[in-house]
Amino acid sequence: MDFFDSHYYKGMKILLCLIGRWPYQTLKERVLITIILSILWSYTMFHRMLVYSNYDNYSSKHEVILETISPLIVDTITFAKYITTICKMDTIINLLESIKQDWKIYTNKEEKKILEYYANLGKILSLGYVGAVYMVTVLFMTEPIVEQTFFKLFQNETIPKRFSIPIYWKTPDIEKYYYYLISFQTLNTNFIISITCASDAMFINLLQHVTGLFSVTGYLLENVPIEENSEENGQKKIKDVAYEHYVRCMRSHKRALEFAENLESIYVWCFGIVITLNMPVMSVTAMQLTTGTSNVIQSMKYGTFAGVQLLHLFFYCFMSQKLLTSSSVIPECAMNGKWYLCSVKAQRLVTLVIMRSQISCQLTAGKILVLSMETFTSIVKTSGSYFTMLVQMRNV
């Protein structure tokens, strides 16, 4: 059985295979799926652009722009993530191979237990995240049908058929083919959203693994074996096992640092695009929620959409904060060990570990903004400021 067919990583593998970005797929499969997704994405974007010159079902072009700006930004973010998985394929393969090697290197019961804990946590977080994204996408896309059903059952009214995201269809009879078209649009959108789900699921699993590596290193530093006495040819001999143990700690720490550095190199520019575009999309959605809804169902639609945008941003900042925290506790773990009972030779290695841990590992957006929970708070505040400005401009 392939290593990534284990229950820890199987969900990530399936999602990446679905979008043709699993590194161990055949080249033919990856190219074919990439072409299909590109056609679907281009087809959707083309018809979405046509609506700017054909907006008969909307009161004004301003309303159409307001309705389409958020989905357009989300599509751009999705495209950036897909390009990242293509351009950084070699680095992704290196990290996946490192994961397989780490599970062979750390064979001690406690070490393996730590890796299993973080791998299982990554599986749970990624499945919960992906489930929430798919659920919100379906609710968002089928909101017009729910609204029509509500008015027909409870108010005995028939309202005009519309789409959740304004789009222009070159068919003379939209009423006749409405349910086919909205089903196609929902299915197509879910395929595109699969790119975001697969990319983020991979990010979550990779980050959980490197967090596990730092935890294993911390465990090793806190549990230093003392010197062993042995006899050879009737003479007492002291074996400096602490020195050998600290050498292993340094190698473990180096593996974690290299893994974190490669992870940063994969997502640094993708995060820059995501953070830059996330602020305006949250502001626009908040404005739609407060000023652009005509009933409870539309309020739920925009409220849910705003919630998943916050969840998306929160996950990036929260996971990045975990990396920052796990790498910064290494000096404390080194001091908690029984280094004072070790030889001077071994104690020098402790000093080297502490010196290398002075700068915590971090993920950045475009090498400018460090992602953390503090950053999350700042971005939400900035989005609130943009929201206030947009509302004032709308009221002018």
Q: Do 307 and 140 form a contact (C-beta atoms < 8 A)?
A: no
Q: What is the pLDDT of residue 230?
A: 45
Q: What is the mean pLDDT of residues 241-246?
A: 88
- 245, HSE (Cβ side, Cα atoms, 13 Å): 26
Q: Are 102 and 191 in contact (CB under 8 A)?
A: no
| Residue 391's pLDDT band (cuts 50, 70, 90) | low
233 DSSP assignment? T
pLDDT at 320: 92
Instruction: Name beta bridge partners: 236.
Output: 231
The 10 Å Cβ neighbour count of residue 134 is 14
Which whole number is the average pLDDT over 302-316? 82
Return the exposure string of 44-79: e unless at least 16 CB atoms fall within 10 Å of the residue's CB, then b. Answer: beebbeebeeebeebeeeeebbbbbebbbbbbebbb
- Residue located via tokens 């959409």: 305
pLDDT at 157 over 80: no
Tell me what percent of the residues of the chain surpass a pLDDT of 90. 37
What band does 321 get if pLDDT is binned at 50, 70 and 90?
very high
In angstroms, rounded to a whole number, what is the distance separating the alpha carbons of residues 164 and 158? 17
- Output the CA–CA distances (angstroms, integers) from residue 8 to 111, 121, 195, 203, 243, in the order listed: 16, 9, 20, 14, 34
Side-chain-side CA neighbours of residue 67 (13 Å)? 25
* pLDDT interval class at 169 (50, 70, 90): confident
Q: What pLDDT, on a 0 to 100 scale, did the predictor assign at position 214?
A: 95
Most confident listed range (147-151, 300-304, 321-325): 321-325
Q: For tokens 């893994």, what's the residue?
A: 259
H helices then E strands: how many in the chain? 12, 4
Angle between helices 174-222 and 109-141 (to 10 degrees): 160
Please give the pLDDT value at position 60. 58
Measured at the alpha carbon of residue 148, what is the angle toward residues 142 and 152, in degrees to the nearest 5? 150
CA pair distance 229, 7, nearest whole angstrom: 44
pLDDT above 60 (res 83): yes
Closest among 164, 154, 200, 204 to 184, alpha carbons compared: 164
In the DSSP assignment, the letter for residue 238 is E
The residues facing 232 across adjacent strands are 235
Q: How far apart are CA 99 and CA 259, in angstroms?
A: 9
At 55 the pLDDT is 58
How far is 115 from 57, CA to CA, in rounded Å?
55
Tokens found for residue 325:
């925290």
pLDDT of amino acid 305? 78
Quick one: which H or E segment has residue 231? Answer: strand 228-232
How many whole angstroms separate alpha carbon 207 and alpha carbon 321? Answer: 11
The reported pLDDT for the residue numbered 136 is 84
Among 61-70, 104-113, 243-252, 287-296, name the one with the lowest average pLDDT: 287-296
Residue 234, pLDDT > 50, answer: no
pLDDT tens figures, 98-110? 999 999 999 888 9
- 270 versus 51: which is more confidently predicted? 270
For residues 389 and 396, give the distance between their C-alpha atoms in angstroms, rounded to a whole number.
11
